[in-house]
Amino acid sequence: MLQFCVIFGQQKVIIIDPGHGGKDTGAIGTNSIQEKDVSLSIAKEIIRLNETLLNNEFDMYSTRYMDTLISLSDRSRLAKILNADVLVSLHCNASANSSKGIDVYVHNTQTEEENLKKSIGMGLSILEESTQKLGFKKRGVQFANFQVLRENIAFRPSILIEMGFVTNPDEADYFLKPKNIRAMALAILIGLYNCLNTGL
């Protein structure tokens, strides 16, 4: 993992992309919790912790700050306008069985080797932090052609985090508690910090 992480010497622009929103609820959990709400709550908390805990170590923006539906192309357009260095998309998983744990997805590009390596490094760092500190099962780094990854990989390291399964009763209940929202947000933020800022 170490060789994938990069030491950055100046403040970096990070786009936090809470998935879904508005009429697009995303996955609906066993306790009626909605993916769009979990992703937005954690995004807001990541940005707050960057300000209060890390003293604005990163220049952070969100693709949405309320329960609105933003198109996937507009999310990528924002990253382009802000010349973002990194994009992190937040989601929750769903399954017809008792699946559990956290995945990080990166684009299955064959050409953008440098950004892909950095994306994998970020994903591994976040997985390490979230699974070791929070006790979630580590499902690993996966490869996919999701639009938000496809539209960004040529320009910046980009990852999509599936922060547990809202269809798993234990993981759905986990996200009902504000302290757990903070814990997940902190794990993601520290995972980013460790990879982008210290090379750890």
Q: CA 36 from chain center: how many Å?
A: 13
Question: 50 with 189: CB under 8 angstroms?
Answer: yes
Class of residue 150 by CB neighbours under 10 A (exposed 0-12, middle 13-18, buried 19+): middle
In eight-state DSSP terms, residue 153 is T
User: Domain containing 17: what range?
Assistant: 2-198
pLDDT of residue 10: 76
pLDDT at 2 over 60: no
What pTM value is reported for the model?
Answer: 0.94
Within the chain, strands assigned E span 13-18, 59-62, 86-93, 102-107, 138-144, 158-165
> pLDDT by residue (tens digit) across 44-87?
999 999 999 999 999 999 999 999 999 999 999 999 999 999 99
Report how far residue 110's alpha carbon sits from residue 94's, in angstroms, rounded to the nearest whole number: 28
> pLDDT by residue (tens digit) across 128-185?
999 999 999 999 999 999 999 999 999 999 999 999 999 999 999 999 999 999 999 9
The domain that contains 80 carries what CATH number? 3.40.630.40
- State the residue for tokens 């892909």: 116
The three state secondary structure string of 88-120 is: EEEEEECCCCCCCCEEEEEECCCCCHHHHHHHH
Question: 161 with 124: CB under 8 angstroms?
Answer: no
Give the chain's domain count.
Answer: 1
Report how far residue 54's alpha carbon sits from residue 68's, in angstroms, rounded to the nearest whole number: 28
How big is the chain, counted in residues? 200
